[in-house]
C-alpha cells in the first residue's frame, strides 16, 4: 500500500458537485482513473480511525430474532412478528437501537471529512449530504470496516427479511445497492412521486433521539385505491416495501433527516413483475446468502 495515498487523494483536483450531478464525461473518467488510489486512501485512513461499527447498533429484539433464525430458520416467525404493516405492502419496525445510533452517525460524519471524494447519488440533486454505499458504485464509501458492516446489513438482515415479507422477490434479490440521504430544512424541498428500480427497498432513519425534524414524511400511494398516506420516521425505525410501490418525500420544514436507502434486485436490474407468482420455499432456503457475484450493474 502506498503510505501517502490519503495525502495524494486530498490534493487531487476533483469535479464540482454540479458536474457530478450532471454526469459530465470527465467525471466518470475521474472515478475510473483514481479508483485504486481511493481504495488505498480508505485503507490508510482506517488505520488511524478504527471503527466501532458492530451488531450492537441493531435493535436488540431484531438482532436476537435474526440471530435465532440464522441458527434455526424455523424460528423466523419471531422476525416477521416485529414488522407491522402500516400501509398496504409497507412494513415498519425498530431497526437500529436509538441509543447506539450515535456510533453510526459519528462514523458517517467522520468519513464525510476524510478528504476522500464521495459521489452523491445521481437523480437526487437536492440531497446535499448523501453518499454511495455499495462497491458497485463509483466514488462509494470504501472504508473496509464500513463495507463489512454494510455487507452484514444486506446479507444477514435485509435479504432474508425481504424474502420473509415478500416471497415473490426470491431470485430477484441477488444484487445489492445502497446510498445515504440527508434532507436539510431551507436547502432541500422534496422528492416527487416515484417508484424504485428495486425488488425491495429498505429505508432506515439515522436521526438521533435528540435530533428532531419537522415534515419530511414519506407519502405512499396505493396504486389500486389511490389512497395516499404520510408515514413518519422515528430514530432508528425502518420502512420496507416493494420498489414498485409509488412514494414521495414530503418537504422538510425544520431540522435535518438522515437515512440509509437500500435496494435488492436480480442480475442486471431484474425485478419481479407484479403478476409474478411467489416461489414456494422453505425457511432454510430463505436464510441463505446467494453465491452469484456482483454483476457490476448500478441503477444510477
Residue whose C-alpha cell is 453465491: 291
Average pLDDT over residues 195-220: 89
| Predicted model pTM | 0.93
* 263 has a pLDDT exceeding 90: yes
pLDDT on residue 128: 57
pLDDT band at 186 (very low <50, low <70, confident <90, very high): low
Chain segment 140-167, per-residue pLDDT in tens = 999 999 999 999 999 999 999 999 999 9
pLDDT band at 1 (very low <50, low <70, confident <90, very high): very low
* 188 has a pLDDT exceeding 60: no
pLDDT on residue 104: 97
Distance CA 44, CA 39 (A): 9
Mean pLDDT score of the chain:
90
The CATH class, in words, for 52-286 is: mainly beta
* 124 has a pLDDT exceeding 80: no
Chain segment 53-86, per-residue pLDDT in tens = 999 999 999 999 999 999 999 999 999 999 999 9
Domain boundaries, the chain: 52-286
Task: Report the range of poorest mean pLDDT among 59-68, 91-100, 204-213.
Answer: 204-213
pLDDT on residue 126: 47
225-to-67, 222, 228, 232, 241 alpha-carbon distances in Å: 38, 6, 9, 21, 17
Distance CA 126, CA 238 (A): 22
Amino acid at each position: 500500500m502506498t503510505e501517502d495515498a490519503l495525502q495524494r487523494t486530498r490534493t487531487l483536483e476533483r469535479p464540482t458537485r454540479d458536474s457530478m450531478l450532471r454526469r459530465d464525461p470527465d467525471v466518470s473518467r475521474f472515478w475510473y482513473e483514481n479508483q485504486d488510489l481511493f481504495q488505498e486512501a480508505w485503507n490508510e485512513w482506517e488505520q488511524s480511525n478504527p471503527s466501532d461499527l458492530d451488531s450492537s447498533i441493531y435493535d436488540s429484539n431484531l438482532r436476537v430474532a435474526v440471530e435465532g433464525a440464522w441458527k434455526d430458520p424455523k424460528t423466523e416467525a419471531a422476525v416477521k412478528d416485529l414488522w407491522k404493516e402500516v400501509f398496504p405492502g409497507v412494513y415498519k419496525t425498530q431497526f437500529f437501537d436509538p441509543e447506539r445510533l450515535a456510533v453510526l452517525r459519528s462514523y458517517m460524519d467522520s468519513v464525510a471529512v476524510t478528504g476522500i471524494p464521495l459521489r452523491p447519488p445521481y437523480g437526487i440533486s437536492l440531497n446535499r449530504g448523501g453518499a454511495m454505499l455499495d462497491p458497485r458504485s463509483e466514488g462509494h464509501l470504501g472504508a473496509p470496516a464500513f463495507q463489512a458492516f454494510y455487507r452484514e446489513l444486506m446479507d444477514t438482515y435485509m435479504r432474508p427479511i425481504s424474502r420473509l415479507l415478500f416471497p415473490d422477490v426470491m431470485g430477484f434479490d441477488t444484487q445489492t445497492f445502497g446510498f445515504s440521504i440527508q434532507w436539510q430544512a431551507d436547502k432541500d424541498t422534496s422528492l416527487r412521486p416515484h417508484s424504485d428500480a428495486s425488488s425491495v427497498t429498505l429505508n432506515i432513519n439515522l436521526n438521533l433521539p435528540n435530533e428532531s425534524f419537522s415534515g419530511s414524511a414519506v407519502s405512499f400511494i396505493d396504486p389500486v385505491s389511490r389512497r395516499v398516506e404520510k408515514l413518519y420516521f422515528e430514530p432508528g425505525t425502518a420502512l420496507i416495501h416493494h420498489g414498485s410501490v409509488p412514494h414521495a418525500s414530503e418537504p422538510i420544514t425544520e431540522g435535518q433527516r438522515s437515512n440509509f436507502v437500500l435496494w435488492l434486485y436480480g442480475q442486471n436490474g431484474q425485478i419481479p413483475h407484479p403478476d409474478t407468482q411467489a416461489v414456494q420455499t422453505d425457511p432454510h432456503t430463505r436464510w441463505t446468502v446467494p453465491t452469484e457475484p456482483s454483476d457490476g450493474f448500478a441503477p444510477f
